Amino acid sequence: MHTNPTSLREPNSKSAQEPASSRPAAGSVTKRLGNELMGLMMSGSPGISAFPKTDANLFDWVGTIEGVAGTVYDNLKYKISIHFPSNYPFVAPVIRFETPCYHPNVDLHGNICLDILKDKWSAVYSVTTILLSLQSLLGEPNNDSPLNTEAADLWNNQEEFKEQVLRHYQPIATDD
Amino acid sequence: MDLALALAATGADDVSDPSDFPESFGILRTLDRTLRCPICKDLFNAPVLLGTCGHSFCSLCIREALKEGEKKECSACRVPTQESSIKKNIVLEESVEAYKTARSTVLALANDTASRKRRREDSTNGADLTPRPKRVKRESSGQDVDLGDERLEESEDSEVEIIENSKAPVDCPICDQKVPATRINAHLDEGCPHESVPEDKGKGKAQWAILLGGPGGKKGAKGGRRGSGRERDRSSSPPPRPLAKVSYHTLSNKQVRGLLQDQCLSESGDRKQWEQRHAQWITVYNANLDSSKPKSVDQLRRDLERWERLKARDEKEKEARVSRVDAKGYEKSQDEHFAKLIAQARASAKGNPNTIRQGASSEKPIEISSDLEMEPESGEAAQATVHIAL
Ligand SMILES: [Zn+2]
Ligand SMILES: [Zn+2]
Ligand SMILES: [Zn+2]
């Protein structure tokens, strides 16, 4: 599906005529990610966060989502991974739950079924949009297109559902 | 706490954000936000209007969205559209260009005022404070204060105050000289001549007058800045035509190479790369036509090369991830200011329990199968991907 980059001209060779000061072309994914990080930090939306995993790789972020009070996910904090393609934001990022999440629209590997990450993606969406959508998906699953059919069937029995949620849940390791 | 200010201080200021403005200047944040493209979140660059729904984007942003997206629709409202509905948004471009020129001035004034306000509230009886009987004191409550209302109450008072307190002239956004605010438009129009800052006691008033549309601002508002119309006068030669889209699948290899040759583009790589290169060229070329300050075709070719390098790097990176090679060697080079940004954000995030700290990355590496690496081509394919993963 992806082209093999080895047949490309040496991608790292700096062409001599390129002015050192020139910035990436407008719409550069780097700049957009910088804007998003700033927006996320400044918005201070409760219960969500995301950050580049390492300084060296801007395209892989780690985030957290906290369950909303009044849902079975209340007080639970989930870790997610976010990978941005080079043609982001024109193509959606790839998002997975890293903390095991028992949910009708999340499979056992953490893959998520959410329309805005698939065919309903739009370039105007941002990490903030996605995290808020995931947060509300926790409390309001779409049981019509489940990835975890067992969870979807159990949803109407909230007490038993919560038991399953807690059985699968693993708190995010607090290292150091 | 204030990431934006910290960033500005480190010089990593080409990432700008509405939150650069102090919290107490909510209306300036709003103004800043409305002049940003909803796709790239940056100030509009060669803005265009979609005739089908009325939403505006940078020309390049919406063209990329229409090229990369599964459906031809407005990114903001999903109303179906197509390239032919893209029209230059001239008034918006003029507004944004004027705003870009004014932004650093406005920002400096806002920060200046905010910090002076803080200082005055901190020290009840500072030596440099002349009593202001009519002054309405405001608590810096941390929430956005509607300056619109405040201005009605206080505008006169604010002006008076600045006349006496502000010693700071305006930094020219082009040449960084200190320029009297009253001269900034003329200075820019004259192409940044040397300026000697006069001891103008009234300059603070003029600064605010510019912002509030008072007498000092008339000249700018009338379009003094638009004197750059000189450069825009392209009536002598007919405007270049946009390049037409191509259905590559009907063409032979030789014909596709011919298309590249016509545009003086590289013929390296395989057929797929030729097509991607040519399609991207059409996108950036046509977007450039929507700018009133178009880049040279040579510059566009360099941008295209850069685009290909980034793409190649991303794909290399993907391969590295799939084979789970440590991404340590990942190129840092062009992202240095971003690293700085991250450092700043990390520092400011300390103590925020919602934020993952760097330590979190030392956990087990995230494994992603090659299936997941692919971007969903359609809803169906995406579903399939999800089910067969790992
Ligand atoms: Zn844009
Ligand atoms: Zn629209
Ligand atoms: Zn200047």
Q: Which amino acid is at A31?
A: K
What does the pLDDT look like over B96-148, one tens digit per residue?
A: 999 999 999 999 999 988 888 888 877 755 544 444 444 334 444 444 444 44
Q: Do A8 and B273 touch (CB under 8 A)?
A: yes
**B53 Cβ under 8 Å from any chain A Cβ:** no
Tokens 């780690």: give the residue: A62
Q: Which of A81, A83, A111 sits opposite B386 (nearest CB)?
A: A111
* Active-site residue (options: A33, A65, A76, A113): A113
What separation in angstroms does the CA of B182 have from each of A18, B30, B149, B208, B246? Answer: 38, 25, 26, 10, 52
* A163 CA: distance to closest CA in chain B (Å): 25
Q: What pLDDT score does B2 carry? A: 39
Q: Is the dihedral of CA B10, B11, B15, B21 positive or negative?
A: positive
Tokens coding B173: 């956004």
DSSP A106: B
Q: Do A90 and B352 touch (CB under 8 A)?
A: no
**B209 Cβ under 8 Å from any chain A Cβ:** no
Distance CA B327, CA B312 (A): 15
Residue A55's CB: how many other CB atoms inside 10 A?
18
Helix (H) or strand (E) run with residue B86 in it: strand B86-88
Q: What are the two backbone dihedrals, phi and then psi, of residue B263, each rounded to the nearest 5 degrees? A: -100, 10
Beta bridge partners of B46: none
Tokens coding B85: 């509905």
Q: Which of A41, A112, A175 sits opposite B348 (nearest CB)?
A: A41
Residue A103's CB: how many other CB atoms inside 10 A?
28
Q: What pLDDT score does B87 carry? A: 95
> pLDDT tens, position by position, for chain A (176 residues)?
444 443 333 334 333 333 333 333 434 788 888 888 888 887 778 899 999 998 777 889 999 999 999 999 999 999 999 999 988 999 999 999 999 999 999 999 999 999 999 989 999 999 999 999 999 999 999 999 899 999 999 999 999 999 999 999 999 886 54
What separation in angstroms does the CA of B171 have from each of A165, B17, B42, B363? Answer: 57, 19, 22, 47
What separation in angstroms does the CA of A118 have from each of A106, A111, B66, B372? Answer: 14, 12, 16, 13
Q: How many helices (H) and strands (E) does chain B have?
A: 15, 5
Q: Is the dihedral of CA B72, B87, B39, B148 positive or negative?
A: negative
What separation in angstroms does the CA of B27 have from each of B23, B32, B149, B367? Answer: 9, 9, 10, 45
Identify which of A69, A61, A137, A63 has the alpha carbon closest to the alpha carbon of residue A104. Answer: A137
Q: What pLDDT score does B307 carry? A: 84
Distance CA A37, CA A53 (A): 12
Distance CA A33, CA B334 (A): 14
Distance CA B383, CA B378 (A): 9
**A68 Cβ under 8 Å from any chain B Cβ:** no
Q: How many domains is chain A built from?
A: 1
Can you give the CATH number for the domain in which A143 is found?
3.10.110.10
Q: What pLDDT score does B150 carry? A: 40
> pLDDT tens, position by position, for chain B (390 residues)?
334 433 333 233 467 888 889 988 999 999 999 999 999 999 999 999 999 999 999 999 999 999 988 889 999 999 999 999 999 999 999 999 999 999 999 999 999 888 888 888 777 555 444 444 443 344 444 444 444 444 434 444 443 333 333 345 777 766 777 777 777 777 777 777 787 755 444 444 444 444 444 444 444 444 444 444 444 444 456 677 888 888 898 888 998 999 999 888 999 999 999 999 999 999 999 898 888 888 888 889 988 888 888 788 777 777 776 654 343 333 343 345 555 655 665 555 444 434 333 333 333 333 333 333 333 334 333 333 333 333
Instruction: Examine residue A58 and state whether it is found in any structural domain, yes or no.
Output: yes
Q: Which of residues 299-338 of B touch A (CB under 8 A)?
A: 302-303, 305-319, 327-328, 330-332, 334-335, 337-338
HEC string of B358-372 equals: HHHHHCCCCCCCHHH
* B204 CA: distance to closest CA in chain A (Å): 30
Note down the domain range covering A142: 24-168
Distance CA B49, CA B58 (A): 9
**B99 Cβ under 8 Å from any chain A Cβ:** no
Instruction: Examine residue A122 and state whether it is found in any structural domain, yes or no.
Output: yes
What separation in angstroms does the CA of A43 have from each of A4, B18, B281? Answer: 40, 11, 36
- What is the distance, to the nearest Å, from the Cα of residue B164 to the centroid of all Cα atoms in its chain? 34
Tokens coding B53: 């729904």
Residue A113 annotated as catalytic? yes
- Answer yes or no: are the C-beta atoms of B199 and B240 closer than 8 Å: no
Q: Do A173 and B363 touch (CB under 8 A)?
A: yes
Q: How many angstroms does the Cα of residue A49 sit away from the middle of ligand 2?
A: 29
Q: What pLDDT score does B337 carry? A: 55
* B272 CA: distance to closest CA in chain A (Å): 7
Distance CA B32, CA A57 (A): 29
Q: Which of A3, A87, A176 sits opposite B68 (nearest CB)?
A: A87
Chosen from A15, A86, A174 to mutate, greatest number of chain B CBs within 10 A = A86
**B360 Cβ under 8 Å from any chain A Cβ:** yes
Cα of first residue to Cα of last residue in chain B, in angstroms, is: 42
Instruction: Examine residue A156 and state whether it is found in any structural domain, yes or no.
Output: yes
Q: What pLDDT score does B82 carry? A: 93
Domain boundaries of chain B, sorted by first residue: 150-200, 248-312, 316-383
Distance CA A138, CA A78 (A): 10
Tokens coding B161: 């105050």
Distance CA B130, CA B163 (A): 12
How do A77-83 and A94-97 pair as beta strands? antiparallel
A to B CB pairs, distance under 8 Å: 236
Residues of A in contact with B19 (CB under 8 A): 38-39, 42
| Widest Cα–Cα separation across chain B | 82
Instruction: Examine residue A9 and state whether it is found in any structural domain, yes or no.
Output: no
Q: What pLDDT score does B185 carry? A: 72
Q: What pLDDT score does B321 carry? A: 64
- Answer yes or no: are the C-beta atoms of B246 and B278 closer than 8 Å: yes
**B390 Cβ under 8 Å from any chain A Cβ:** yes
